[in-house]
Amino acid sequence: MKRLTGMLALTAATAALLAGPVHADTSDKRIALSNNYAGNSWRQAMLRSWDKVTKPAVEAGIVAAADPFTTAENQVTEQAAQIQNMVLEGYNAIVVNAASPDALNGAVKEACDAGVTVVSFDGIVTEPCAWRIAVDFKQMGKDEVLYLKDKITEECNLLEIRGLAGVFVDDEISKGIHEGVAENPNFKIVGSVHGDWDQAKAQAAVAGILPSLPEICAVVTQGGDGYGAAQAFAAAGRPTPLIIMGNREDELKWWKEQKDANGYETMSVSIAPGVSTLAFWVAQKILDGQDVPKDLVVPFLRIDQDNLEANLANTEAGGVANVEYSADDAQKVIDGAK
């Protein structure tokens, strides 16, 4: 009766997030989120999405718990210990945004051997026993250069702003950017800095390298760095280049202001922070006994000149353009992978 009352109390929006084939077979199962880093707007939005979707799922009795935990400053050893503690605490599944694709494999294998389901997303792991949910980050980086190719035909110096050093996502996006540049010799990367997917850090890094750089016609990025880059160029009194954005609200707002003022054109791309909710539902379905492929791919979220306003209107202040996933969405991703 208590569970029925909880279900009846769900709002229409919450019910939509819970939509799909879920069963009471997991009502006693406990899922934990192991997150390696929370120091930027994307990670904060990811955690908010997790709470938005998992709390109603717990209230509805679909799972018994969905507890989030975050380690400090991307420390592999700390996250490995965290995963080991989750196993000892009796969690049935662990959803992991990993500090490293391979350095956590030992802890992940121990979890699997203990009968715990491990689903990695965004920062995925390579341990074969785990599941992986990712976008094609390398293609995302390459698509930035392909966009520039359509806009810029003359020789062009690029500044690359990378993400958090040592993380799979940073490496893959950078590989895609460099592959795109190698295929288009009119582009040349003349400087590279790490912005840690954070506007303030990106602004400081760009400000530090700009005095040593020639004229820059475009900036290739990874997300959470476009607005900071724009501020650094403005502070240095240098012309604003074409800056690829990363779906953050402050980036989109700045882009809209420039578009209205002078027709400024660019594009914006990132993985939706709500991918954490897809990982939650995938873990729930595995616990429910479903046959789920080990590797699942979701599209990245791209914003272009013609849909900028619509996306900005739907992005919360200080947040990131986002998509949250329902159980039904997860089922479609699983079925598509099969």
Residues 117-173: tens digit of each pLDDT: 999 999 999 999 999 998 899 999 999 999 999 999 999 999 999 998 988 889 999
Q: Is the pLDDT of residue 18 over 90?
A: no
Q: Does domain 2-135+272-299+322-337 have CATH number 3.40.50.2300?
A: yes
Quickly name the fold that domain 137-270 has.
Rossmann fold (3.40.50)
pLDDT band at 17; cut points 50, 70, 90: low
Which has the closest alpha carbon to 197: 231, 178, 221? Answer: 221
Q: Show me where the domains of the chain are located.
A: 2-135+272-299+322-337, 137-270
226-258: b (≥16 Cβ within 10 Å) or e: bbbbbbbbeeeeeeebbbbbbbbbbbbebbbeb
pLDDT band at 241; cut points 50, 70, 90: very high
The answer to whether domain 2-135+272-299+322-337 and domain 137-270 are alike in fold is yes
Among 9-13, 70-74, 191-195, 314-318, which is the least confidently predicted range? 9-13
